[in-house]
């Protein structure tokens, strides 16, 4: 049997488009370069060769913004490395200031949120393992987000669905 050499997939992160988001009131917002997806990651695949064992994103958080509501993951680990700027990590013990060079991790079940209280953009590398079957809980609004194939839907205690930012702003 002859094996063919695999071709290395390479991208330049300086050339990637940023995906941007903001909440209706503007409290939450940011931008991200989806590095793993640019390298071929298929987010919804259950095949680990297509899904990849981890996901890498370069996040940019503008001054005065928080990336997303305070939340916890059921199974996901998230590693952060601050590249530039300053901000804070909200966690169960309070808040901790973060600056360029800081690295930290949140394991499953540890609530967290990242914000920028500085005067320049906060740039962070985020690496997450994105396990299949992952769910998130939002302690401030007491909501769960549960993945549904090809869709993410937030379910309340009843049959109605809620907006992602409902109860957060």
The answer to whether position 156 is within a domain reads: no
pLDDT of residue 45: 81
55 inside domain = yes
**pTM listed for this prediction:** 0.84
- φ and ψ at residue 20, rounded to 5 degrees: -115, 155
Residue (of 166, 57, 113) closest to 153 by Cα position: 166
pLDDT, averaged per 10 consecutive residues of the chain (169 residues), comes to 71 96 94 95 82 92 97 96 98 97 98 97 95 90 76 51 75
**Residue 119 structural domain:** 15-133
Residue 80 near residue 126, CB atoms below 8 Å: yes
Q: Is 43 a member of any domain?
A: yes
Output the CA torsion 145→33→5→53 (10° steps): -30
Tell me how many domains the chain contains.
Answer: 1
DSSP 22-53: E-TTSSBEEEEEEHHHHTT--TT-S-HHHH-S
Write the CATH number for 122.
2.60.120.10
Residue 154's pLDDT is 52
CA dist 119 and 13 (Å) reads 24
pLDDT at position 99: 98
């Amino acid at each position: 049997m002859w094996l063919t050499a695999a071709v290395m997939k390479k991208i330049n992160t300086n050339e990637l488009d940023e995906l941007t988001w903001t909440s209706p009131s503007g409290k939450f917002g940011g931008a991200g370069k989806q590095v793993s997806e640019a390298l071929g990651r298929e987010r919804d695949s259950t095949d680990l060769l297509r899904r990849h064992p981890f996901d890498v994103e370069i996040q940019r958080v503008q001054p005065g913004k928080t990336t997303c509501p305070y939340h916890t993951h059921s199974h996901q680990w998230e590693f952060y490395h601050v590249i530039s700027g300053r901000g804070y990590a909200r966690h169960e013990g309070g808040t901790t200031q973060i600056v360029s060079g800081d690295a930290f991790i949140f394991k499953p079940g540890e609530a967290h949120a990242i914000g920028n209280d500085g005067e320049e953009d906060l740039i962070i590398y985020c690496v997450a393992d994105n396990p299949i079957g992952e769910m998130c809980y939002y302690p401030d609004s007491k909501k769960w987000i549960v993945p549904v194939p090809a869709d993410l839907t937030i379910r309340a205690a009843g049959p109605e669905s809620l907006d992602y930012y409902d109860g957060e702003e």
